[in-house]
Structure formats: structure tokens, C-alpha cells
Structure 1
């Protein structure tokens, strides 16, 4: 069928979802033609999905008559299959099979009961209609009033496990519902004598009441826009399909012991979807870092669904929109009804946020940071979103120098409002490893020879990733050497069947397709060389993931921006997309293992020096702190005078705190030794400032006062330059300041002499003299009580370095 006719069919049926296609296939965002034209030109041949529901590969494999006819599965479905009620994907088949297994679908009753079904063709499969529409609309397919209908009670024990799929679905619902739990948690229901399960489905679920200890309907609705939009029971959806799909039943945040300071402003992150792709994973790492290193409440808004949403929920309070606007405007408004410290938008597509907010009368009264991952061509395909971002963004973070250049030249963004932070990964290999210590384990898992020269490729099996070039290069290398070699590809895609079918029996011994692997980050250690055969790939994270294992990369220079990392010392960039040249590069590394090792070692060093989550996210955090009104949770004041022996340990002990949400104010009181020179290298961390006196103050208390006046945080820590602390100091004391009545939190102080020797419990005799036994355990006291018990007579706050103090408690003394 000619392209123009296919285009007409797709336009007439509205079956093609351009937004889904753009989100799912990055090369379509880079293309010059429209998404529909790109789909007809590229997507049809590669059997890509035209929308989230129709899976052409599944359709072809499950309907032999379609396969035998030679007609494209999408065309068949639009011309015939849709009218016949054929299924579109594996999930629909599971639901279809469940209805068949129940054995009580009354076809005649179902069709005669609903007037709109009368127009369906005679051959239309009504079970398909039910699973696709009817069950979400509350339609019934069983005639409960049929005179001869036999109802047999199931002998099933209602305490059956969820996995027993052969039991009646209603029994499964009841089995999962914990009546005792519901009545214990809802005394109004117990007192009214109402059936708890009936109450839950009638109104309890919408009120956020839980059917058992482990399922939270409010969380489930927030995370699953499709369930909200279908207006179906969250609990029943979870039992029917959500659990099998791996959807989370309750917030993982409920199960952790993370410290959260509710008194501080929360943080907002915005992603355009939850698809498993590069920019989404970068956002995950950014959110993970803020979760691990700040005590802030974190919220994350996704403009469209995707499987990464569940992973975001491990670190943030997440709300997912359906992708076509706000389905529940009031719920969205409530979610965003916060005084956020800042809003961090990920990718140009997130510019759709602001028209959405304006449509529903929602405002964000905070600074906006936008992280741009896209290159020039992609940015040009989202002109509306980009213009919206230009009018709202205070500061830009760019994922590459090339993107920064585009933002500065084409969009005239001032360089001072632009920070370049290259892509990064969360390594699984150790920084101090001297060998690829995970290689043997990875090869064993993948079934690879321990002695072969192993080349690995990775990605979706379709044209842009160049798996055909990968195979061609493998065959060329095989002809050049008698040494044992193995080529392996990790990833799934529409080309897999064809590529595997092209292998000879002999080639199947050394060319392998491993499919998708959740631990690919670790399994890349199996390689001697990573071969990136892509025809186009801006900055693939998989090159960095290989580098952590000291695995160098061979790539095609015209196809990628990763050459900024590879250069000439971390791999080989082949100057053209040429498989012969690629095979020659691989042969060189095969025959010169010392060169391969040198390139791999350099790749590892570069990765750990500049491309890890910890380093780059600290840079992102420091940028946000610098350009916004961000108020740190703690202002650390480090006064010093001639502390050159101790100042490095002092600063290191502060920087080692897991909570990075701090500012450090270093105060020199005219030191005459090398203390200042030892401090200066630390100033590369933008959270640290150094203030030097022109004249010695003559008093440490004047330095304290100076630092307190400079502090921007609500909590101050006077960390003297010759002291040190445990790494849990902040995370232990800071949570107490969630109580607005707490003004001072004190840690136990130990004495360390000038040689670093610990004088354990040296202060206990003094403290016991003030109040015997009181200081051997933690306590919380009212200020008046503390003064009356001992503080009015003896100072038991023995060291300022061991205290956190609320800045406002200094009151008029700072005026």
C-alpha cells in the first residue's frame, strides 16, 4: 500500500499518537519531518508502536493468518482486525483469557443489554469490547436474573494467596481485603455496623482509607494516571493486573528512616514522562542525590506515565499526569500547593507544564531551573515549549558543551545563566579497583568464555543503534583473526528476530543476543571492548557505564557527541561510519592488549574524576544554591586562628556529613601560619566561602558573632577549626529542629589531644558533678528546667562545636 494511502488511513482514524511516538523514539525528535511522516517512513518498516496500545510485533506473532497474508499488522488491524474485535497486545490477551477462564460471559445478554453495541458487526468479539471498554464503564456480562442460572458456591478458602489465578475473581478481592484491619483503623465503620468491604468500595477508597496494611489507594491513584482516568477501583486494578505488572502498592517512603525536615521548604522536580530512557534516568539520579544528601521533602511531577515512575517513588512524593493534561485539576492543585524552594524541570518537553498550570489557575512562586539534555535539532522540534521555558527559567543546566553553545547562540541565553554539567552515572564498580574485578562474574552470568576477546554492544535493536553494523563488524573481525572472539548484544527490539535468523549455525557459537538485562550496568564488565555501533547517539550513558569497568569504547565519530569523553585516550573514534575501519580498530585492541588496558584505565579514571552521580549532582546542587534563593538547612561557621595542623581534618569531617544541604563560612582571624593556604583548595566547592580579617579580633566570640550574622540558614553550627566530628553529627541533631520550640541540640563531646589521641569520657566527672547520671543518655528538656537543674550554676554545653543552634534564638543580641 502506498504511503499516501497509509497516511490518509492514520489521519482518518486518529490511531497514530504523535506525542507517544515522540516520547518513545528519540530519532523521531531529531528528524526533520513530522512524527507521522517519520512513522510511515521509518516506524512501519521497523514495526514500531503507533500508540501505547497497539503492538504490531505481538499482533503478527499471535495471528498466523495475518503473518501468512503478508499484510502489515497495523494495516490489517485498521482495515479488518479492529472491526473483528482482535486484541492489540499481551495485556489485553491476559484479560481476555481471564474472562474466558471464568466461563460465565453471556454474549447474548451483553449485546442485548446495551444499545450502542447493536451497531457492531456480527463477527465482533464482545469479550474484546468488555475488556477494552465495558469493565471500566461498569457494564455487566452476567444475567443475574436468568431463571435457569445456577450459582455454585466456591469451596475456596477466602484466605487464598493472590497468585491462585484459577479462583473466582470476586473471591480474590475478598481474600485481599482485611476486614479486621479496616474495622480497627476505621472506628466509625465499626460503630455503624456496616459491612467493611462494602464501605470500602462505596466510599472508603475515594476517602483514602486502606483495605489492608500494605495497599494505599491514594498513593496508587497518584502514581497511576491510567487507573485514575479510567475511574476504576485502585485496589481491584492492583489485584487484577497491577501487581503482576510490578506496580507499587504503597509508598516506599513509608518504609524508610530518612530524616525529613518539614520546617524547611520542599523541593519540586518535573519530568516530561517516566519512560526508561537517558534523560529520565539522569533525573532519577538527581532526585536520588537530593534524597540522600538533603533533609528536604521532595515532590516530583510527571507530565506523562512510564515505568520509571515507581523508581522515582522510592525517593519522592510522585504525582503522574496522563500525558494529555490534568485529569483531576483539584488533585494537581493540592499536590503543588507548597512554598517550594525551587522547581527543577528536566528536558525541553517539560515546558508544557506552564500552559497546564495556567489553564487550571495554578502558580509556582519559586525560581525555576531547567535541565536541557537535547541537541539543536531536537530543541527545534519543540518551539512552543522552548519559548515557554525562556519566559520562566531563571537558570539553565545543559548536558553537553554543544547544547550550551546552542542555547547561547540560537536562543540568546546569557552565559552567566547557563551551567554545563555533562551526563553522569551511578557506578557499580569500585573507584579504587585496579582490575576489572567484576568481569569473571559477568561472563559467567552471560555464558561467555573466560578466555575469549569479548565485544559488547547495547541498546534497542533497530536501525539507529546499528545492530546490523555490529554484526557486519563482527564477521569482518572473525575473518581477520584465529583467536577466540565473542560478540554479545544486550537489548531487545524489532530487529532481533531478523538478526538472529541471519546467523549461521557456526556464528551462533560466538555471536549472542542477550535481550534486556536489568543489571546491564554491571554486566558490561564482561567486555574487553564496548562497540557503540550507533548511527546516531548524542551522549550515550552506556559508554560511561563501560568505562567504570576499565572497558574502552570503539565508536563512529560522526554519529555521537561521546567523543568529548573518548577523545584519543579512552577508546577509538572511527572517523566514518565504516565497519571495515571499526573491525580494524577492534583488531588493534585485540592484538595490542597493553594499548587496550591503557585506554580502559584512562576511561575509568575520567569516569570517576568527572562523570559520577556524586560529583555532578554536587555541581548541580551548588549551582542551584548559588543562583536561587535557596536557604541551606545548616550554616556551618568555621572560625580559626593558626589551626594548620587541624583545619583539613575539620573541613573533611564537615564535608563527610551525608547531609550536603549546607553552607560553610570559613573565618580567618589573621593566622600567621599556613592555615589559609590549606583552606584555599577547598574553595573549589562553591558551598564554602572564606572571610579573612584585616586585623586580629582578639576574641573568638567576635568571630562567632561575625559568622552568625553572615549565616543564611535557620540553624547554625559553630565548628571550631581545631575540632572534628563523627559523620552522623548533622543527621542525628538536625531532626530535632522540626520542633519549633527546640533552640539547641547538643552532641556528646570527647577530648582529643594534639596528637589525635582520644581521651574517652574525660568530661564525665565534670558533667556528673553538675547533675549525676543525667548526661549518660539522651534527653529533651524545657529551657527553664535545664537552667534550674544545672545550667544556671555550671555550663554543661561544654563545646560550641558540639551544638546546633537556632539562629533566631540569639534574638536582640544580633541587632
Structure 2
């Protein structure tokens, strides 16, 4: 039996953890000769699902909770105890003699490299990040990359970044697009008097361009005077960010037009009713929500040089806007408002172009790459 240790930076309801979960579920169902273990750095909404699919589930968070008595120790002694406990924990993992360590995101590479140290196992890194985020979370990536045997890049944009910025050999990298699935939902027929609905989705931060989303709304509501329009952003938002964003929305006079509804366990119930999906991200390698909205038959508008989605969208299904030109992004939203037949047409194009971005189609590609020997 082969042993594989997956390492997840967190079990949040977001892209990289979902892709990992889908692959682990597929692996468990299709290859019974694999022992599937998981080391998770931060617990989250998906933790119960991950526990159901693993043979052994290890959690850094749980490890730290087991030793609460350490808080009573002097700081210097606490540091020594922490070091001892984690050293013993990682030594135990190394002794499991894994065939493959699968690091799911750059953020897990530091730990994955330590676990691989002095072992014969193969280290695979699934790269869901572009250059700015890599520099933020792994400034020593140029050193750590040498411990990796194989790289999975989630888009051509990600692969090109690994080659041009980090001089990684092309032969070590396999470009495999992200994938997702959409549960069957009933799509309501839009009525003429309904507001035009624009949706965005993702964790609220600088990378996702939520500030640009609001700017597009301002341009359409006030400069273009389109008052029968609503903007909804779906995604987890911290209290600090909510205070800032709600203040901006109020000062801009957009309270009746823009809503941030937070994380939704069933986002498709909102996305199915949108007219256009807006991706104002500054860096977004290949967001799952674009796959899902495409499967729901929605047009997508995004920025050039910011996302791998452009690699599919260049074949139709929406518009690619010069980087951060929010006025031009707003113009394309208005174009769809004035040409509803194009909404239907581009939605059909997306459904066709993203038809095969599903676990049953893509997971075998990942498995084959794991089995392949790199010369």
C-alpha cells in the first residue's frame, strides 16, 4: 500500500482546500491501495469533510490545544516545551515512511520541506499562488523550491511565473487547471422589472479587488445613472474590513446598491440569479467561483494579467479588461445591461468551455502526474 501525506494550510471554504478535498475524495473512491493522511495547519468549515476521507488526520491546532498547561509555564520554558513537542510530533510523521508528501499551497512548503528532509519520499507542490502572494507568504521560496520534486501549476499564468521568476525547469511542472462542481439548482426566469444583478465572490482583501468592485458600482450608479442595478459580494469578511467597507459604501451613497453578504454555505443560490459575474481581482490564479458561475451559464468580466481565467475567456464567454481600468469594466457591465441576448449567448459559451472542469475529469490528470517519474 502506498502512503501519501497531504498538507493543507487550512480547511476554510475556499478554492485550494476545496480542490484538495475533491481530489482526496476521488482518490479514496478510485484507488483503495493508498493510505490517505492529512496534516492541517488551521481548522475550518471543511474539517468534518476532510476527517471523513482520511485514514489519519493530524492537526497543528489540535496539537497546540492538547498542551494548554504550557500557558502556565514561564516563557523561556514554554518555548523549550513547544520545541520538544513539535519535534516529537514531526519525528512521528517522518517515521510513517510516506511515499509522497503533497503540499497544497506555497504556505505549506516550509513544513513539507522539513518532513521530507533525510527521507526518500517525493515532494509535490500544488501551486495556487502568483508572484505577489508568493513573496508575501514564502519570501524564501527560491531556497525551498529545490526540495520540491514536482510542481502542479493551476494555470498557464502560474506556470510561466514559476519558470520566469524562479527558474524552475519546465519538465518538473504540470499545468492542471482548477476544477469544481455545481449542485443542481433551479435558475429563475428573469423578469423585465427585476434589478440587474452583478456578483463578486471571495475572501475580502486587497487581492480580490473588493475596493475595485465598489468603484465599478459607483461608476455605473452615478456616472452612468443606472439605478436599476444591484451589486452583491459573497465571501468571508473580517470585522475590521466590514467596518471599513460599510463606511466607504455609505460615504459613496451606495447603501441601496452594494451589499457584502459574508460567507455563504450555498453561494450558488445567489450566483444562479446574477446576470454578470465580476472578477476584479489583482491576483487570482484560477478561482473556483469562475468555474462555478460559468457552469451556471453566466458571463464573466475580469482583468488582464491578473488571472488564469483569461486563458479560457479568450475563447469567448465574457470580457478581458486592461489591468485595473475600472471604468472600462463598468462599460462592459453596461453593455450587458443593454444587450441581454449577449448575456444568454456568453453564458452558453462558458457552459461549453468549462464543461470538463470537474473532479471526475481533472483528478485522473493529477493522479497520473503523481505516478510519473521525472527524469
Q: TM-score range by the shorter chain?
A: 0.7 to 0.9
Does the aligned pair in 2 maintain the 1:452–1:484 contact within 8 Å?
yes
Matched, 1:496 2:252: no
**How do 1:745-764 residues align onto structure 2 when only pairs under 5 Å count?**
none
Change (3 A) 1:277 1:567: same
The alpha carbon displacement at 1:558 in A equals 4.5
Question: Of the two, which has the highest radius of gyration?
Answer: 1
For residue 390 of structure 1, what is the aligned residue in structure 2? Answer: 146
Secondary structure of the 2:233 match is strand
**How do 1:93-172 residues align onto structure 2 when only pairs under 5 Å count?**
none
For residue 569 of structure 1, what is the aligned residue in structure 2? Answer: 316
How far apart are the structure 2 equivalents of 1:329 and 1:449? 64
Change (3 A) 1:570 1:390: same
The alpha carbon displacement at 1:567 in A equals 1.7
**How do 1:686-697 residues align onto structure 2 when only pairs under 5 Å count?**
none
- 1:457-505 per-position Cα deviation (integer Å, ceiling 9, x unaligned): 2233444433343233224323546673222222334343344454489
- 1:684-723 per-position Cα deviation (integer Å, ceiling 9, x unaligned): xxxxxxxxxxxxxxxxxxxxxxxxxxxxxxxxxxxxxxxx
How far apart are the structure 1 equivalents of 2:146 and 2:272? 42
For residue 186 of structure 2, what is the aligned residue in structure 1? Answer: 438
- 1:150-174 per-position Cα deviation (integer Å, ceiling 9, x unaligned): xxxxxxxxxxxxxxxxxxxxxxxxx
**How do 1:801-812 residues align onto structure 2 when only pairs under 5 Å count?**
none
Does the aligned pair in 2 maintain the 1:550–1:600 contact within 8 Å?
yes
Change (3 A) 1:328 1:549: same
Secondary structure of the 1:266 match is strand
Residue 49 (structure 2) aligned to one of 311, 320, 323 = 311
Does the aligned pair in 2 maintain the 1:270–1:300 contact within 8 Å?
yes
Change (3 A) 1:354 1:533: closer
The answer to which structure has the higher strand fraction is 2
Considering only aligned residues, what root-mean-square deviation do their CA atoms show, in Å? Answer: 3.3
Does the aligned pair in 2 maintain the 1:454–1:487 contact within 8 Å?
yes
> TM-score scaled by structure 1?
0.39
Does the aligned pair in 2 maintain the 1:276–1:306 contact within 8 Å?
no
Change (3 A) 1:460 1:274: closer
**How do 1:237-252 residues align onto structure 2 when only pairs under 5 Å count?**
none
The alpha carbon displacement at 1:348 in A equals 2.8
Residue ranges of structure 2 left out of the alignment (5+ in a row) = 65-81
Residue 459 (structure 1) aligned to one of 193, 202, 219 = 202
Does the aligned pair in 2 maintain the 1:354–1:388 contact within 8 Å?
no
Secondary structure of the 1:572 match is strand
The alpha carbon displacement at 1:329 in A equals 4.1
For residue 690 of structure 1, what is the aligned residue in structure 2? Answer: none
For residue 127 of structure 2, what is the aligned residue in structure 1? Answer: 372
Change (3 A) 1:347 1:471: closer
Residue 476 (structure 1) aligned to one of 212, 219, 236 = 219
Residue 520 (structure 1) aligned to one of 256, 264, 267 = 267
Matched, 1:266 2:3: yes
Residue 370 (structure 2) aligned to one of 615, 624, 629 = 624
How far apart are the structure 2 equivalents of 1:369 and 1:536? 23
Q: Answer 1 or 2: higher relative contact order, Cα 8 Å, separation at least 6.
A: 2
The alpha carbon displacement at 1:541 in A equals 2.3
How far apart are the structure 1 equivalents of 2:272 and 2:220? 21
Residue ranges of structure 1 left out of the alignment (5+ in a row) = 1-263, 430-436, 629-815
Does the aligned pair in 1 maintain the 2:199–2:277 contact within 8 Å?
yes
The alpha carbon displacement at 1:613 in A equals 2.1
Matched, 1:338 2:338: no
- 1:225-244 per-position Cα deviation (integer Å, ceiling 9, x unaligned): xxxxxxxxxxxxxxxxxxxx
The alpha carbon displacement at 1:335 in A equals 4.5
Does the aligned pair in 2 maintain the 1:271–1:346 contact within 8 Å?
yes
How far apart are the structure 2 equivalents of 1:380 and 1:563? 23
